């Protein structure tokens, strides 16, 4: 609400004399504006579309039963607690060796061209940096992009995987469908890496003159 106050300041003037002119005082009741402000705030909170959180998309295969797979078709990438990448064929850790992060994508492309039935198993140490996990997923996505743009590879890949798995089981054609994450087993993975380090140290000592 609004109001006007016309009262003259000071005492009333004598009869027949004009007193000093009073100023018009206008005042506004701002209480209803508080309600309007809250209504507008609620309106914008309800109707405004906020930016959705960006998450990394991971393609997951359909649920299936256990699949027998030769060790030669399993590539294992391990990341230990220090952030070192280890590469091996087969989960047992045969021929385990270090691989540089910058060479991971090229190595994945080469390995998949050589063996089109290859599946990748990623094992991350609990103390490893999350950025290492993101880096591996990025490299796998980059590898997928390279292979998906190779028409000759795709044709051979479809033929060989259909023959190996059968048309009723083989339905995924993207490279990213052929990798999975596994838990880090200290009693197995830590020992495997330690044995690989000791083996290389012993080999270097034998090569010394």
**What pLDDT, in 10s, does the model give residues 134-164?**
898 889 888 888 888 888 887 887 787 777 7
CB atoms closer than 10 angstroms to residue 98:
13
Please, are residues 142 and 148 in contact by the beta-carbon 8 Å criterion? no
pTM over cut 0.75: no
According to the model, what pLDDT value does residue 21 have? 60
Domains of the chain: 72-207 (3.30.420.270)
Handedness of CA 127, 130, 135, 140 (dihedral sign): positive
Please, are residues 4 and 26 in contact by the beta-carbon 8 Å criterion? yes
CA distances to 1, 26, 91, 171, 172 from 61, in Å = 66, 73, 20, 9, 8
Mean pLDDT, residues 102-109 = 90
Confidence of residue 120 (pLDDT cuts 50, 70, 90): confident
- Residue with the bigger pLDDT between 105 and 14: it is 105
CB atoms closer than 10 angstroms to residue 146:
17
According to the model, what pLDDT value does residue 182 have? 82
Please, are residues 108 and 136 in contact by the beta-carbon 8 Å criterion? no
Among all chains, which residue has been given the structure tokens 């087993």?
Answer: 185
According to the model, what pLDDT value does residue 155 have? 80
């Amino acid at each position: 609400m609004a109001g006007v106050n016309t009262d003259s300041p000071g005492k009333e003037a004598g009869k027949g004399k004009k007193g000093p002119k009073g100023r018009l005082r206008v005042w506004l009741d701002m209480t209803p504006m508080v309600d309007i402000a809250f209504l507008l705030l609620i309106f914008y909170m309800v109707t405004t579309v906020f930016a959705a959180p960006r998450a990394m998309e991971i393609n997951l295969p359909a649920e299936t039963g256990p699949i027998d797979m030769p060790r030669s078709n399993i590539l294992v990438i391990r990341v230990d607690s220090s952030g070192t990448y280890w590469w091996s064929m087969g989960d047992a850790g045969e021929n385990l060796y270090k691989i540089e992060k910058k060479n991971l994508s090229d190595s994945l492309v080469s390995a998949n061209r050589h063996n089109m039935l290859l599946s990748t198993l990623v094992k991350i140490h609990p103390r490893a940096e999350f950025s290492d996990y993101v880096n591996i997923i990025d490299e796998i996505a980059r590898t997928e992009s390279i292979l998906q743009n190779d028409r000759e590879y795709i044709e051979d890949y479809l033929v060989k995987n259909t023959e190996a798995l059968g048309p009723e089981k083989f339905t995924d054609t993207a490279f990213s469908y052929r990798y999975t994450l596994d838990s880090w087993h200290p009693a197995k993975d830590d020992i495997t890496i330690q044995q690989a380090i000791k083996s290389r140290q012993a080999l270097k000592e034998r090569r010394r003159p």
